[in-house]
Structure formats: C-alpha cells, structure tokens
Amino acid sequence: MSAVALKLTGVTRVHGKGAGEVHALRGVDLEVRRGEMVAVMGPSGSGKSTLLHLAGGLDTATSGRVEVAGRDVGSAGARERAALRRKHIGYVFQDFNLVPALTARENVMVPLELDGMPARRAREHARVALAEVGMEDMGARFPDDMSGGQAQRVAIARALVGTRGLLLADEPTGALDSVTGEAVLRVLRARVEAGAAGVLVTHDARHAAWADRTVFLRDGLLVDGTTAAPSAESLLAGAAATGGHAADDPDDGVAGAGR
C-alpha cells in the first residue's frame, strides 16, 4: 500500500457562480503520509472544511488532483468513491451524523456491514472501537438518549472502527470536556502511530500540538508549517502570547515559533 495516504496537487475549489463565486481553495498542495498526523488551522471561512470534504471524497475539486491511497478521487465514479470512503476513510464530522434509529453499537457497525463484513465480526470490531473511546457500556443506547459528548465519542468510534488508512477529523473534541477530549485525541494519535494517516482541523493550538506538523489556511491558500516546524510548545507559546487566539491568525503561530 502507498505510503502516501492523501495527496492534493494544485487543488482549487470554487463555490457558486458569477458574482457570487467564492474561491474556497486556491492551488493547495498537501501530502499526508501513513504514520503522520497533520493539523489544519486557520480563521473561519479560510477553507478548512472544504479541504476535508475533498480529502474525504464528499466533494470534488474545481481543478487539481486529490488522491487517496494512490487513487484519483476526482476521476472515480460515484460507486467507486463510496467504496473508497468506506474502506479507506474514517471521517469525524462536526455534527455527529449518527443514525437516530440505530443504537451506538449499530451506528459503529454500519460502515463495516456496508462493506460486506459479517455481523458477528462487525459487532466485535464495534465493541473494541467503543471501548477505545470509553463507551463500552453504552453500546445499546440510542443517540437521543446520549449527551452531546457521548454522541460525539460514538461518532469517533465509528470513524476509527476497522483498519481505515486515512482518518479525517473536523474539530472532533468540540462537544467534549477537556479530559475526554484528550482521551479521544490519544486514540487518534494511537491509530496514527499504528500506521494510519490523520488530518485534524482545529481552532485549538493545544489540539494541534498532538499532530506531527501544522499547516495554516488563509483565504484558501495553504502555508505549510513544516519548514519552521512549530513545536507543540511554540504553538502554545504563540497562543498564550496572543491571548489564546493563535488559531485566529496563522501568523501568530509562526511568530510563536520564532520566525
């Protein structure tokens, strides 16, 4: 299997038409390898969710190329894209997107069953994934009977279940208290250590500190933080120096790294 789990080359995404055109991404290049976790930071509206949707095969680029596990997502048909999503991509959405009529365990089993895994094996994978996020006793609960944080942990278990090579997370700890949130980031990190690739969209420099490197988006342009490799400490220092709002200004994180 390719060491590069995700590759974006010259990717642009224009939403809308004519006077209402929005250039959400402008010529973005990004490569994420297996065993690597990349954090994406940037102000609201800078294109972070658009980038994640493209990486997850939920949207297609206006121009440029998006490859997942060596496969060009843009040229794949709808059926192939759906299979790619189920087999290779784990996606933690900002809203939890759980199916209300299914229990926590059944929600986590869905992607595996869609992929043809027998129910007994899917149930065992779901048990492990729920245990990883501290929800082992909640398998029979329905989403409406859970707190926001519990529902989000189930969504994270569903994204992590099985052996997906590319994990995409949009602010996965938004509804979680900080202790649980850190536990979830730890699970994500463990999956990356085990060979998955991770992309984490976050506004929080403390969460970005869990990644191997941070890239910054501003007005659809991507600035790679690799050259200066801002460390967790320098990102946090940048956040502290700006009153905890490093995520609002990409330059703050860079300044915090001493550039």
Q: Is 15 in the site for ligand ATP (CB under 6 A)?
A: yes
**Minimum CB distance to ligand ATP, residue 48 (Å):** 4
Q: Quick one: which of 39, 42, 200, 242 contacts ligand ATP (CB under 6 A)?
A: 42
Q: Quick one: which of 6, 8, 37, 46 contacts ligand ATP (CB under 6 A)?
A: 46
45-53, 110-118, 150-158, 183-191 -> range binding ligand ATP (CB under 6 A): 45-53
Of 91 and 112, nearer to ligand ATP (C-beta) is 91
Contact positions with ligand ATP (CB under 6 A) in 197-226: none
Report d(CA 136, CA 181) in Å as an integer: 17
Q: Quick one: which of 27, 35, 45, 149 contacts ligand ATP (CB under 6 A)?
A: 45
Q: Quick one: which of 5, 34, 37, 50 contacts ligand ATP (CB under 6 A)?
A: 50
Q: Is 24 in the site for ligand ATP (CB under 6 A)?
A: yes
**Minimum CB distance to ligand ATP, residue 131 (Å):** 31
Report d(CA 5, CA 196) in Å as an integer: 8
**Minimum CB distance to ligand ATP, residue 170 (Å):** 8
Q: Is 22 in the site for ligand ATP (CB under 6 A)?
A: yes
Q: Is 19 in the site for ligand ATP (CB under 6 A)?
A: no
Query: Which H, E and C letters describe the chain, residue by residue?
Result: CCCEEEEEEEEEEEECCHHHCEEEEEEEEEEEECCCEEEEECCCCCCHHHHHHHHCCCCCCCEEEEEECCEECCCCCHHHHHHHHHHHEEEECCCCCCCCCCCHHHHHHHHHHHCCCCHHHHHHHHHHHHHHCCCHHHCCCCHHHCCHHHHHHHHHHHHHCCCCCEEEEECCCCCCCHHHHHHHHHHHHHHHHCCCEEEEECCCHHHHCCCCEEEEEECCEEEECCCCCCCHHHHHHHHHHCCCCHHHCHHHHHHHCCC
**Minimum CB distance to ligand ATP, residue 43 (Å):** 7
Q: Quick one: which of 37, 47, 133, 152 contacts ligand ATP (CB under 6 A)?
A: 47
Contact positions with ligand ATP (CB under 6 A) in 84-113: none
| Amino acid in the structure at residue 15 | H
26-34, 44-52, 74-82, 150-158 -> range binding ligand ATP (CB under 6 A): 44-52
Binding site for ligand ATP (CB under 6 A): 15-16, 22, 24, 42, 44-50
